Chain A
Amino acid sequence: MKSSEHNFVELLQKHQNIVHKICRLYTNDSDAHKDLFQEITIQLWKAYPKFRGDSKFSTWMYRVGLNTSITLYRKSLRRVESQSIEPVAYKLSYEEYDDTKDKQLKMIYEAVHKLNDIEKGIIFLYLENKNYKEISETLGISEVNARVRMNRIKTKLKTQLNS
């Protein structure tokens, strides 16, 4: 048990960026980010005995992390619902969204935050360079559907950015 715990902590420490990135897409402030990070960590640990090593730990993390964010996570009551991205979530690159620095990027992130949970999952995997086969396997939809939805997301983002 101790050794399994040790292995898990080591692997998670190595790949913790994945969890942070998921939290970044699904939350709007640092409290929610911490809450979701904690819940994903707990779910990863609970599911760890089922990790058989036939896939990469990082690939397995994508699945558990997204499942937690889309399905299992119960939003914390203290979480403030807001569409704005607060530049307080740790020391993320939110500073870069400064109007003068990169207005366009700020708008893109805001548009992404307005997507629904499933769309966020698809765009997250896309940003992580996953192909449509991997996206479809993670979400349980067909490859064609993943492609169709990705195209719709692109159109949706374009419409939002141009409006």
Chain B
Amino acid sequence: MRIAPTLTEKIAKGMLMLACASAVASLLFVIVFILAGGFRHVSWGFLTQPILDMGRSGGIAPAIVGTFLMVFVALGIAAPLGVASAIYLAEYTLEGRATQAIRFGINCLAGVPSIIFGLFGFILFVVMLGLSWSILSGGLSLAAMILPTIIRTAEEALRSVPAQYRDVAASLGATRWQVVTRSVLPYALPGILTGVILGIGRSIEETAVVIFTAGSAVQMPRSLLDSARTMAVHFYILAREGISTEKAYATAAVLILTILVINILAYTLMHRVLRGRRAV
């Protein structure tokens, strides 16, 4: 017997809705759980004071500074490098064996566990280049870690730009570079930004790479060559060594909020740019 298509439709719709609802619910649960547990212990002092007694008391100011500096270094290197590589792959090369091999390699790298990048960063930056455990080593290693993701998403975003936009620009006398910068990039911006934000998220939440390459100093860093810990590392150490559950939750809450704020800022900025260009 055949089930009536209208009934199948109802069942399918119900199942899909259920799947979506459970996914959203579990995410919300995690976030609400952390925020509710953490925010009770977050105060102005917690955000501005130094880490005292290995984190048992005091605040997380050095970890906040360490986080931002390291993400800043990672992004400052990986974003331009990644977008430039993506532009070269998508706009300047013909699809062939070589590009396929490169794309395959990038996809593999994007799936490599972060600890491998930690080890790589430790050997190359900390030991061989003599940068020791520092924000610079950490930022460089994080850059290597997020680079494949940024290249991949940026290339995808560039390839999703309709070919006609390129034709129109070229037919009006644009060089290849002008085609890219004036016609293709503005259109691909939202997709590229998504990749960059993914990269920010991954570097903020990363622990393994940071412990291997930036150490876990509790002092306020004074230069990029100082060792420092990020909020994620701080949280990891607090929780793992059983130093202070309260402070761990509070750190996690601040971490989640930071990621949220960065996302909102990035997308607002993008919309303002697009609207300024009357692109919508």
Q: Are A and B physically bound partners?
A: no
Q: Which residues of A contact B (CB under 8 A)?
A: none
B interface, CB within 8 angstroms of A: none
